[in-house]
């Protein structure tokens, strides 16, 4: 096993630690995304993260096909592609058709990883975002997870998992699963360290993938708390690194994979330069104890007085 991959699932499919994310608000122009993905592949990125919600599956798929045709990679098997089940498709009878649509849009035969995007369902066939207040529905976890398992059995997903699941919601999935989730993709960074959730996932053999590890500045949910942290700035200066590199190295040393996003070549290169150095025990201790903790992604857009999840506390089951 390479230090730059994690084996996931019972098949021990290898997932690269670093994924290039494609979520942006507003969505990136297709030509910009395609150019970025091709540049990323040239630099060595092999893991790409998307979702129907991001409106990036089509240009990502075009870029991946072009990478093969240009000889940047020999075949699709060198890539690891993650996509997600959107809320409107999180219903009995809709999960397999949803992944098939994503595969058709991406022009792929299979996904390496397919995740339930949020622990929320919405009215079938209504894809407007934000989801309208009257359109939220309780998720039938047993049925939806059973159909996620069917995606893996059919071979259209090598591995399956969840995203934005609290300990309680994850334990519920584990209690009903024949195939346990391989991954839980959640917000995690020096300012929201997810210790309890990571302990649970580690005990169950579930890999944590961190998003918003740099604070997602520029997104409607973003924050400057990470890039403006005095602790991280001091460590970065001492190391001759950037704050972003220190944050990513911290996540890597905590044993998680991560999704990062940039459309700039210099940042893409910078993100890859986190593997040949390490933090001292004192530096890790400072990050663990001196940085105040607060959630960035509160899930507010998935909360409705008229829906099954009526508060931030209910979304995260008190893990806030």
pLDDT digits (tens, 9 = 90+) for 262-310: 999 999 999 999 999 999 999 999 999 999 898 888 899 999 998 999 9
- pLDDT value of residue 1: 33
Stretches in the chain below the pLDDT threshold 50:
1
Which is nearest to 302 in space by CA: 152, 90, 45, 82? 90
Give the integer Cα–Cα distance in Å for 58 and 277. Answer: 36
Confidence at residue 220, expressed as pLDDT on a 0 to 100 scale: 60
Pairing assessment for the beta strands 136-137 and 121-122 based on DSSP bridges: antiparallel
d(CA 195, CA 285): 14
* Residue-level pLDDT at 217: 61
Q: What is the Cα–Cα distance from 53 to 129, expressed in whole angstroms?
A: 8
State how far the Cα of 144 lies from the Cα of 197, in Å rounded to an integer. Answer: 22
- The whole-number pLDDT of residue 85 equals 98
The confidence score (pLDDT) of residue 219 equals 57
Residues noted as catalytic: 54
Domain positions in the chain are 5-316
Question: Closest Cα partner for 26 from 264, 223, 263?
Answer: 263
Fold of 5-316: TIM Barrel (3.20.20)
Give me the pLDDT at residue 12, please.
83
Predicted local distance difference test score (pLDDT) of residue 26: 86
Beta strands in 164-307 (DSSP E): 183-187, 207-211, 257-260
For the whole model, what pTM was predicted? 0.96
Q: What is the pLDDT of residue 158?
A: 97
Cβ burial, residue 88 (10 Å; 0-12/13-18/19+) = buried
Q: Could you tell me if 206 and 169 are in contact, meaning their C-beta atoms sit under 8 angstroms apart?
A: no
Which residues make Cβ contacts (< 8 Å) with residue 94, sequence separation at least 6?
124, 147
On whether 12 is known to bind a ligand per the annotation, the reply is no
CA separation for the pair 72, 64 (Å, rounded): 10
Q: Which residue bears the tokens 């991959």?
A: 5
Q: How far apart (Å, rounded) are the C-alpha atoms in residues 191 and 287?
A: 9
Cβ(256)–Cβ(188) under 8 Å?
A: yes
Question: What would the pLDDT profile of 89-100 be if each residue is shown by its tens digit?
Answer: 999 999 999 999
Q: Residue 313 in 3-state DSSP?
A: helix
């Amino acid at each position: 096993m390479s230090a730059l991959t994690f084996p996931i699932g019972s098949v021990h499919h290898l997932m690269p630690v670093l994924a290039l994310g494609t979520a942006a608000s507003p969505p990136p122009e297709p030509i910009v995304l395609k150019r970025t993905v091709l540049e990323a592949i040239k630099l060595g990125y092999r893991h790409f993260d998307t979702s129907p919600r991001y409106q990036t599956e089509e240009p990502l798929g075009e870029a991946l096909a072009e990478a093969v045709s240009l000889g940047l990679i020999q075949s699709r098997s060198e890539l690891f592609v993650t996509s997600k089940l959107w809320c409107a498709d999180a219903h009995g009878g809709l999960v397999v058709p949803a992944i098939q649509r994503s595969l058709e849009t991406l022009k792929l035969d299979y996904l390496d990883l397919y995740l339930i995007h949020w622990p929320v369902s919405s009215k079938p066939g209504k894809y407007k975002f934000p989801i309208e207040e009257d359109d939220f529905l309780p998720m039938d976890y047993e049925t939806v997870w059973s159909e996620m398992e069917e995606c893996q059995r059919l071979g259209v997903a090598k591995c399956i998992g969840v995203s934005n699941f609290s300990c309680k919601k994850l334990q519920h999935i584990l209690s009903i699963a024949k195939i346990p989730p391989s991954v839980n993709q959640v917000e995690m960074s020096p300012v929201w360290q997810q210790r309890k959730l990571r302990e649970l996932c580690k005990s169950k053999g579930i890999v944590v993938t961190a998003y918003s590890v740099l604070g997602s500045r520029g997104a409607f949910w973003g924050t400057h708390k990470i890039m403006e942290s005095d602790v991280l700035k001091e460590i970065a200066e001492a190391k001759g690194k950037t704050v972003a590199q220190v944050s990513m190295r911290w996540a890597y040393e905590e044993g998680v994979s991560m999704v990062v996003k940039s459309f700039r070549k210099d940042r893409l290169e910078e993100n890859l330069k986190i593997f040949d150095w390490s933090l001292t025990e004192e530096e890790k201790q400072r990050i663990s104890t001196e940085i105040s903790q607060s959630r960035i992604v509160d899930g507010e857009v998935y909360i409705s007085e008229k829906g099954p999840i009526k508060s931030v506390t209910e979304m995260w089951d008190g893990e806030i």
